[in-house]
Amino acid sequence: MQIRVINPNTTASMTEKIGEAAQQIAAPGTRVVATNPRSGPASIESHFDEAISAVGVLEEVRAGELEQADAYIIACFGDPGLLAARELTRAPVIGIAEAAFHMATLISTRFSIVTTLGRTGIIAEHLLQSYGFAHHCRRVRAAEIPVLDLEDGGNAALDRIIEECLRAKAEDNIGAIVLGCGGMADLREQISREVGLPIVEGVTAAMKLAESLVSLGLGTSKHGDLAFPRPKAFSGQFEYLSGPGR
C-alpha cells in the first residue's frame, strides 16, 4: 500500500520529519511517499497561507493519482483543500486535524487542543464545528510559537508546548490532548511522557485511518457531492487543469 503524505507547506525539512513519523507508524507493507508542493508558503499560519497551500495539495493529489497512490494524508492541522482533494480521487483522503479529533474521542470524553499560534485557533474552532466535535473539545490553546520554530532544532518550542499541555491537564477537565500542528509529528512520544496524558498527533493518527480505510476497501464516495469535478476550461496559470475530465 502506498500512502502519499502531503505536507502542504514547502519546507522540506518538515516534509522529511513528517514522512519519517509517518513511515515509523506505518504497517509493514505500507510505503510512505512524503511530498510537498513545489509552490506554496513555507509555513501555514493564516487563512491566506491555507488557501494558497490548497493548490499545492491538489497538485500533489493529482501527482499521486498518476502513481496510483492508495490513500492521501493532508499534513497540516487546518486540513486545507480536504473536500476538493476528495473530489479528485477514489482513494481515501484524510486531514490530520480530523484524524486527531476522531482518535481523541475514542479514548476520552473531552479533549483540548494545543496549537502553535493563537490566530489559527479559529481554524480549529471551525473544523470542530463542521466535523461535529465542538462539544468534545474543552479549549483551544496556543503555545504562541511560529510553525518554523519547530524546525530550528532547539528545545524552546518543545518546552512551550509541554508547558501549555501541562496547563491543559491541570485546568481543562480533559482526558486527552490533541497536538495542533503537523510539525509536531515527531514530538508526540516525548510530550506524552512529560505530560502523562494520552497525546493525539494528527499525522500518525491519519496514517492509521488511511491504512484502515484501504484495508476495508473503502474510498471516497463517487456517488453524490464528492464525485469527480465536471471537466471544464481553466485559464492562465491553471490552464493545465482544463480538459475533458479525468
The pattern of x and - marking residues 71 through 100 that bind a copy of itself according to CB under 8 A reads: ----------x-xx-xxx---x-x---x--
147 phi/psi in degrees, rounded to 5: -55, -45
The interface with a copy of itself within residues 9-28 (CB under 8 A) comprises 10, 25, 27-28
| Burial class of 217 by CB neighbour count within 10 A (0 to 12, 13 to 18, 19+) | exposed
According to DSSP, residue 184 is labeled G
Q: Shortest gap between Cβ of 82 and a copy of itself (angstroms)?
A: 8
193 phi/psi in degrees, rounded to 5: -60, -45
* Contact pick of 69, 174, 181, 191 for a copy of itself (by CB under 8 A): 174
User: Cα(112)–Cα(239) distance, rounded to whole angstroms?
Assistant: 43
User: Cα(61)–Cα(72) distance, rounded to whole angstroms?
Assistant: 7
| Segment interacting with a copy of itself, rule: CB under 8 A, options 15-23, 150-158, 178-186, 200-208 | 200-208
- For a copy of itself, the closer of residues 154 and 231 by Cβ is 231
The pattern of x and - marking residues 143 through 162 that bind a copy of itself according to CB under 8 A reads: ---x----------------
The interface with a copy of itself within residues 103-132 (CB under 8 A) comprises 103, 105-110, 118-122, 126, 129-132
Q: Shortest gap between Cβ of 158 and a copy of itself (angstroms)?
A: 19
User: Cα(76)–Cα(65) distance, rounded to whole angstroms?
Assistant: 20
* Contact pick of 7, 15, 112, 204 for a copy of itself (by CB under 8 A): 204
Beta bridge partners of 32: 3
The interface with a copy of itself within residues 23-62 (CB under 8 A) comprises 25, 27-28, 37-43, 45-52, 54-55, 58
Nearest to 147 by CA among 115, 100, 189, 124: 115
139 near a copy of itself, judged by CB under 8 A: no
208 near a copy of itself, judged by CB under 8 A: yes
Asked whether 22 and 203 are in contact (CB, 8 A), the reply is yes
User: Cα(147)–Cα(96) distance, rounded to whole angstroms?
Assistant: 16
- For a copy of itself, the closer of residues 154 and 229 by Cβ is 229
User: Cα(214)–Cα(237) distance, rounded to whole angstroms?
Assistant: 34
240 near a copy of itself, judged by CB under 8 A: no
173 near a copy of itself, judged by CB under 8 A: yes
Q: Which helix (H) or strand (E) holds 98?
A: helix 96-107
* Contact pick of 66, 155, 217, 244 for a copy of itself (by CB under 8 A): 217
